[in-house]
Amino acid sequence: MVLAQLERLQKDSSDLELYALKLKKRGRIQQMENILKKRDYVREKIKLIKSPEVQYST
């Protein structure tokens, strides 16, 4: 499950990057900035999935 989720997030990040470039070519800078914010959010989630979880023993 986690591997599939990670792969999907990586694909989404790549797709958002390409879409932002298309928006820039069309002169839609504000929309491009919003898409890049979404891409950054997705990348943060990727980092969270990749990073080892801290476990506390009792």
- Over residues 2-52, the pLDDT tens digits come to 888 889 999 999 999 999 999 999 999 999 999 999 999 999 999 988 886
Residue 57: predicted pLDDT: 60
CA pair distance 32, 26, nearest whole angstrom: 10
Domain ranges of the chain: 2-48
Residue 1: predicted pLDDT: 64
User: Cβ neighbours of residue 18 under 8 Å, at least 6 residues apart?
Assistant: none
Extract the tokens encoding 58: 């009792």
Per residue in 35-45, pLDDT (tens digit) is 999 999 999 99
